[in-house]
């Protein structure tokens, strides 16, 4: 089930960010990198275990020594990268909500891309001892096994450092950032002030039409009120997404970390029994840890309206819908222009049959007189 969700959902999220212009922003670099990490988890960790347990009897490792080292390295490194990217996402949301006026100046490609690469580099270096300490044992011509090196005190120190750096510190930061974001959102909703987080839209108040979502309609008070309440709902969804990510991260990552600490420091049995308590909870904690990678794209896909629209636009016939949107906008603009022209005729009955030549800025009248728009601004 995890493999079925991990492999299709994360590429859809990644290609939606890359192909859709509405999602192509510096802040979504973190989301694109997170979808890549989650996809690697599905391919190299969950997918490999599914094949290993489903199609190969006796639990033997058939992929050789080098694949064993890569596998042990990835199952430790990829969760660390995911935790670091979640910290960057929470930091970006906190800046966007708490300081909306300077968010667009701070959160640029020159900052988001290097910070993402820095997370990958730090996670790769800190988990590299697991690659060196991976053990591949060939018992006979048929049976073989792949194990991490746990008895080495150096590897124990590396494990404790990684748990502290890539789990405890991210949990503390996520708790502080998400609490601050939620408090700011609640305070702004109570005061009735709704500030845009990362993007600013230019509005022309003299126009008779405005864009609401993917369609444009004449200005009305009810529609403005609807947009205001829609913006409040969007800010609430931001808080819901942050809280959901924090709860899922803590609840699903904690069992695996506690299992690793228990196996390395408290399980003193010289021979690990396959029927023991540690062996039984190992698959459960493993699946719970990597379930985070399957849930992340679902959270962003179902709780974020922008992602839902972008994914539907990418999967469906977005060209036809774009053409229909433009047609509706043109009809609404013609209707607003007719209303404006009618109001002009009632105010200026002497000037009749006024039309604007699109090729030249000249107003032509029926009586033969021509007045330049720069000299006489009647419209």
State the pLDDT confidence band at 96, using cuts at 50, 70 and 90.
confident
> Residue 322 corresponds to which tokens in the numbers above?
């774009």
State how far the Cα of 329 lies from the Cα of 159, in Å rounded to an integer.
Answer: 59
Q: Please report the pLDDT score of residue 27 as a whole number.
A: 82
Q: Which span out of 53-62, 79-88, 342-351 was modeled with the highest average pLDDT?
A: 79-88
Residue 82, Cβ density class (10 Å: 0-12 exposed, 13-18 middle, ≥19 buried): buried
- pLDDT above 90: percentage of residues in the chain: 13
Domain ranges of the chain: 2-316, 351-379
Q: Please report the pLDDT score of residue 119 as a whole number.
A: 96
Q: Please report the pLDDT score of residue 309 as a whole number.
A: 78
Q: Please report the pLDDT score of residue 77 as a whole number.
A: 93
- Tell me the C-alpha to C-alpha distance, in Å, between residue 261 and each of 12, 264, 285, 309, 318: 36, 5, 12, 43, 50
Q: Please report the pLDDT score of residue 81 as a whole number.
A: 93
User: What number of residues does the chain have?
Assistant: 379
State how far the Cα of 212 lies from the Cα of 224, in Å rounded to an integer.
Answer: 9
State how far the Cα of 108 lies from the Cα of 116, in Å rounded to an integer.
Answer: 12
Q: 271 by DSSP, 3-state: which?
A: coil
Q: Residue 144 forms beta bridges with which residues?
A: 138
- DSSP H or E run through 216: strand 215-218
State the pLDDT confidence band at 208, using cuts at 50, 70 and 90.
very low
123-127, 163-167, 174-178, 290-294, range with the lowest pLDDT: 290-294
Q: Does 155 score more than 60 pLDDT?
A: yes
State the pLDDT confidence band at 342, using cuts at 50, 70 and 90.
low
CB-based contacts of 81, cutoff 8 Å, min separation 6? 37, 119, 120, 123
Could you read off the pLDDT of 256-293 as tens digits, one per residue? 888 888 888 876 654 455 556 676 787 788 888 888 88
Q: Does 334 score more than 70 pLDDT?
A: yes
Residue 195, phi then psi, degrees to nearest 5: -100, 140
DSSP track, 135-169: EEEE-SSS-EEEE---S-HHHHHHHHHHHIIIIIH
Q: Does 54 score more than 70 pLDDT?
A: no
Cβ-contact 72, 148 below 8 angstroms: yes
Q: Please report the pLDDT score of residue 46 as a whole number.
A: 72
Q: Does 367 score more than 50 pLDDT?
A: no
> Residue 157 corresponds to which tokens in the numbers above?
């120190």
Q: 203 by DSSP, 3-state: which?
A: coil
Q: Please report the pLDDT score of residue 340 as a whole number.
A: 63
State how far the Cα of 191 lies from the Cα of 364, in Å rounded to an integer.
Answer: 51
Residue whose entry in the numeric block shows the structure tokens 């494990």: 159
- Tell me the C-alpha to C-alpha distance, in Å, between residue 369 and each of 60, 353, 357, 366: 94, 12, 14, 8
Q: Please report the pLDDT score of residue 356 as a whole number.
A: 43
Could you read off the pLDDT of 170-199 as tens digits, one per residue? 999 999 998 888 888 878 777 655 444 444
CATH number for region 2-316 = 1.20.1070.10
State how far the Cα of 177 lies from the Cα of 292, in Å rounded to an integer.
Answer: 19
Q: Residue 93 forms beta bridges with which residues?
A: none
Q: Does 45 score more than 80 pLDDT?
A: no
Residue 217, phi then psi, degrees to nearest 5: -140, 165
State how far the Cα of 366 lies from the Cα of 345, in Å rounded to an integer.
Answer: 14
Question: Pairing state of beta strands 144-147 and 135-138?
Answer: antiparallel
């Amino acid at each position: 089930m995890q493999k079925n969700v991990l492999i299709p959902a994360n590429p859809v999220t990644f290609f939606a960010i890359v192909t859709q212009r509405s999602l192509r922003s510096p802040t979504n670099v973190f989301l694109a990198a997170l979808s890549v990490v989650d996809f690697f988890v599905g391919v190299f960790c969950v997918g490999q275990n599914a094949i290993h347990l489903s199609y190969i009897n006796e639990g033997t490792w058939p992929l050789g020594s080098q694949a064993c080292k890569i596998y042990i390295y990835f199952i430790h490194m990829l969760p660390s990268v995911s935790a670091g990217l979640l910290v960057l996402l929470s930091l970006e949301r906190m800046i966007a909500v708490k300081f909306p006026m300077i968010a667009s100046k701070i959160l640029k490609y020159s900052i988001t891309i290097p910070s993402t690469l820095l997370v990958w580099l730090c996670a790769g270096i800190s988990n590299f001892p697991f690659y060196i300490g991976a053990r591949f044992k060939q018992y006979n011509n048929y049976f073989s096994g792949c194990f991490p090196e746990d008895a080495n005190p150096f590897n124990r120190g590396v494990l404790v450092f990684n748990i502290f750096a890539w789990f405890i510190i991210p949990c503390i930061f996520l708790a502080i950032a998400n609490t601050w974001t939620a408090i700011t959102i609640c305070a702004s909703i109570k005061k009735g002030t709704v500030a845009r987080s990362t993007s600013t839209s230019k509005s022309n108040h003299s126009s008779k039409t405005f864009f609401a979502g993917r369609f444009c309609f004449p200005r009305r008070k009810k529609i403005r009120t609807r947009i205001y309440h829609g913006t409040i709902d969007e800010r609430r969804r931001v808080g819901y997404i942050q809280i959901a990510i924090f709860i899922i991260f803590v609840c699903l990552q904690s069992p695996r970390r506690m299992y690793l600490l228990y196996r390395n420091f408290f399980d003193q049995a010289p021979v690990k029994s396959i029927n023991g308590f540690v062996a039984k909870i190992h698959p459960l904690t493993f699946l719970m840890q990597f379930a985070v990678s399957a849930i992340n794209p679902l959270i962003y896909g179902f709780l974020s309206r922008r992602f839902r629209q972008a994914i539907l636009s990418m999967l469906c016939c977005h060209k036809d819908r774009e053409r229909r949107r433009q047609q509706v906008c043109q009809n609404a603009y013609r209707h607003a222009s007719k209303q404006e022209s009618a109001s002009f005729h009632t105010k200026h009955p002497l000037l009749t049959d006024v039309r604007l030549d699109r090729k030249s800025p000249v107003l032509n009248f029926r009586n033969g007189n021509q007045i330049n728009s720069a000299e006489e601004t009647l419209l």
